[in-house]
Amino acid sequence: MGGTVESVTAAAAASAVPTADSVAAREAGPGDTGTDGAAPAKLRIRGLEKRYPVKGGELLALDGIDLDVPAGGFVTLVGTSGCGKSTLLNIVAGLVAPSAGDVTVDGDRIVGPGPDRGLVFQAYSLFPWRTVAENVAFGLECQRLSRTQRRARVDAMLATVGLTEFAEWLPRDLSGGMCQRVAIARALVIEPDLLLLDEPFGALDLQTRKNLHEFLRLVWQRTGATVLMVTHDIGEAIYLSDQVVLLSDRPARVVERIDVPFGRSREPNVRRDTRFLELEDEVDDLLHGRR
Amino acid sequence: MATATPTADVGVDQKSARAGQRGRAVGRLWRVRGELTFRWRVGLGAAGLVGVVALWLLAANATAGSQQGIVVPSPTATWDALRELHAEGLLVSDVLASTERILYGYGISMAIGVVVGLAMGAFPSAEGTLEAPIGFVRYIPASALTPLMLLWLGIDEAPKITLIILGTVFYNILMVADVTRSVPRQLIDAATTLGASRRRIMARVVWPHSIPGIIDVARINLAAAWLMLVVAELLATDEGLAVRVVRATRFRDYDRMFAILLVFGVIGMLSDLALRGLRRWAAPWNR
């Protein structure tokens, strides 16, 4: 285990019912103990619950989630499909209202969606009638930037994601990997405080996925964005993030927080490192209740 | 097993199985949801029309000479009647009068349909408020309102245009609402998280996504507009295609009746073609 895995069950149990003065409680927050320590939490989640009405009762999707994402950090949520990971992300995005609990970004409570939290979907969700450049420009149009300002930022972002020559293409003529790059560019160009990725590479083939991993790492380091990602690909989670958070089957609870013991400047061959492979096995076992 | 012939006991469809081949080759023309080349499309279209004319000729021959019961004029007699109508100056004025009524009536109906339909499809408040009243009014046959319109609005153009509106607007509203509802949730979510206001979502996401569907609605319900036009023109009037059919009926002028029916068909086909073109031009991203 190498001391990288620390159970937080006790800490999670200790977290009190969230109150209005939860911002003041940040210093003593349970999640802070797991991360690098100094960085203050950008995103802070305490006692998050989500219930859905279903035929003949209620479905508990999220059960008392505590989570911190430090500024500039990259945290990944891993769990089996249908465990509620996406629901959690949608709550942070402001698209879904929580049933109970506190979700704050820089101490501000989330009451709805906003451009400070960029969301990237698994299904790309590009506007099919807009070209690549127009898709990327959408968020900037909402900010009422001048045409020339918009143009400059879109061009710069297209260069970053390597799509300059496809600026005038329509989404239907692009491959899945290119579409996802457009979607990430569209979310990033408005410089959100928080980038939320909902299984962004789930629909892509292995090679494209690996290329996009490098792409995402580069963009993340270049922009200094704070990232919260959801995936069920354990290798992807370990390779990309500072911290991997394991969620249990429904109702989703935090099973484990694992600080990834590799530095930020990672090479793809870190995936062959024995420690990487061991960690992968460990997470896999934890995820399937074998430990 | 020993008696079975080699071809009989393999699990291959015998009709399609040939030595040295696997699978079943499907011809272009009969593939499920296949696509036609341009040549085939034009060729088959022409063949269909020729088929209709052939049936017409057959029917005309079979009824030739009879004055009572089913009388079908020949294509040549119909054509002659059409030229006669044109020579009398009636054809152009009738087409213009009827088309104008359609353009006003159906134009207003589509405008209302788009505005109210978009609102109903997008906002639960509008849907909740309007669904019940529209569901009720929709089942009142618009043609049954003809006498009432006559009493309320007189015999001028107003009652005719109103009837065309009443006969189509509710279908337009409900179908446009359906089109609006088919905007993918994720596109709206994406726009919201990118900072779009409600107005911007309507203008930049819901509207562009709905354009092709709205044009389809316009195409489909246009037929209902012509239906209401015929009912409307039964109100006292001198010009119009339906008026001409009614007048011809009085004199048992089958040639003229068929000539006008032909005109209805041609106008319908042309407007359909125009709306298809509009759809392709307005939403090139959609197929």
* A99-122 pLDDT tens trace: 888 888 988 898 889 888 989 988
The confidence band for A8, taking pLDDT boundaries of 50, 70 and 90, is: very low
**Out of B195, B205, B285, closest to residue A115 by CB:** B195
Stretch 66-105 of chain A: residues touching chain B, C-beta under 8 Å? 93-95
Structure tokens at B50: 């020729």
Contact (CB, 8 A) for B169 and B228: no
The whole-number pLDDT of residue A39 equals 56
CB contact under 8 A, A93 and B193: yes
CB contact under 8 A, A129 and B285: yes
Nearest residue to A49 via CA among A58, A38, A40: A58
Asked if residue B278 has pLDDT above 70, the reply is yes
Asked if residue B68 has pLDDT above 90, the reply is no
Chain B positions in Cβ-Cβ contact with residue A172 (cut-off 8 Å): 285
Closest A-chain CA to B206: A127
Asked if residue A6 has pLDDT above 50, the reply is no
Nearest residue to A160 via CA among A187, A131, A142: A187
Asked if residue A1 has pLDDT above 70, the reply is no
Q: pTM for this one?
A: 0.81
The whole-number pLDDT of residue A18 equals 40
Asked if residue A30 has pLDDT above 50, the reply is no
Chain B positions in Cβ-Cβ contact with residue A138 (cut-off 8 Å): 191, 194, 196, 204
Is any Cβ of chain A less than 8 angstroms from the Cβ of B197? yes
CB contact under 8 A, B193 and A114: yes
User: How big is the CA angle at B226 (ends B271 and B178), to the nearest 5 degrees?
Assistant: 75
Name the phi and psi angles at A252, rounded to 5. -70, 125
Asked if residue A34 has pLDDT above 70, the reply is no
**The CA-based dihedral angle spanning residues A217, A222, A227, A231, taken in that order and rounded to the nearest 10 degrees:** -20
Name the phi and psi angles at A41, rounded to 5. -70, 130
Complex confidence, ipTM: 0.79
The whole-number pLDDT of residue A16 equals 38
Chain A positions in Cβ-Cβ contact with residue B200 (cut-off 8 Å): 141-142
Nearest-neighbour CA in chain A from B128: distance (Å)? 21
Contact (CB, 8 A) for A218 and A74: no
